[in-house]
Amino acid sequence: MDQQDRIIRLGVAGATGRLGRAVMALAADEVGLDAMPLAIRGRGTSDATPANAIDVILDVSSDRGCRRAIEVADAQRVPIVIGTPGLQPETLAAADRLSRRVAVMIAPNLSRGAAVMRRLAALAARLAPSEWSFDLVETHRHGKRDAPSGTALAIVEETVGPDGRSRLRDAVASIRTGEVVGEHRLRMTAWGEELVIEHRALDRSVFARGGLDAARWILAAPPGRHRFESMIAAALDEDQGSDPAGT
C-alpha cells in the first residue's frame, strides 16, 4: 500500500468528552483516517480499542487520562498529541520522559488562530515601548476548571520583554460564564492609544480540526518535544520573510 493511501489509526483519549466528541464526529468524514476511542481505564475515558491497534494518539481527556495515554504511547512506541490543558507537573514530567523515545506534542490550544495570536503577542512584547501596559482577559464556559487557561499561560510565557520578564505578570483575568468556547483578549495601552490582539473560537470544531492536523503531522516528526506552532511555523516564517512591495 502506498504511504499516501495508508489508513492512519488514531486513538482518541477522552473520546466521550466535549472536545473528544467533536474530534470523533469530524474524523468520521476524514478520508484515510480511522479514529477510535483509546482503550484506557480511568474516569472520563472508555475501554474500546486495543492499544496495539493504533498509529498515533490524540489526548483530549483529563490529567489522569493523559497520564494513562502517555503510558500507552510509551508501551506501543507511538507518537502522541496532548491537547489536555492544566496538566500537573508529574504529567508534564512523564511527557518529557516519553519524548526521549517518541514524538510528543503538548498543545493546550489546538486552534491555528490561537497559535498565530501567540506569535503576534510575542512580537508585540518585544516591540512595544517599555512604558506600555499589558493585560489579558480570557473567557471560557462556566465549569471550565483551569484558570487561567492553558492558552493564557502560554501567552504569558510568550510576552517576554527586553528585560527577560513577562509583560503580563499579575495582569491576567479569567471569566467563566455561559457556553463560551474560548476568547483571549490581549490589550496594550499607553497614553492616547490602545492596541488589541484578540482571538475567539466560535465553534469547538476548530480545536478538533487542529487536533487531527497535529496527529497527522506528528507521525513524521522525530522523537522529542514539539509545539503546535511547529506545524505551522514554516508558513508563518515564510510570510514574515516575504516582501509584497518588492522593496
Q: Which residues are known catalytic residues? A: 140, 144
Burial degree of 225 (CB within 10 A; 0-12, 13-18, 19+): middle
Burial degree of 177 (CB within 10 A; 0-12, 13-18, 19+): exposed
Contacts 24+ apart (CB under 8 A), 123-126: 124/159, 124/186, 124/188, 124/195, 124/197, 125/158, 125/159, 125/160, 125/161, 125/166, 125/167, 126/160, 126/161, 126/162
The C-alpha atoms of residue 171 and residue 195 are separated, in whole angstroms, by 16
Q: What are phi and psi of 175, to 5 degrees?
A: -120, 130
The C-alpha atoms of residue 111 and residue 27 are separated, in whole angstroms, by 16
216 sits in which H/E element: helix 205-218
The C-alpha atoms of residue 186 and residue 137 are separated, in whole angstroms, by 7
List 198's β-bridge partners, or say none.
185
Angle between helix axes 112-127 and 150-158 (nearest 10 degrees) is 30
In sequence order, the 6+-apart residues with CB closer than 8 A to the CB of 127 are: none
- Which grid coordinates are listed for 178? 455561559
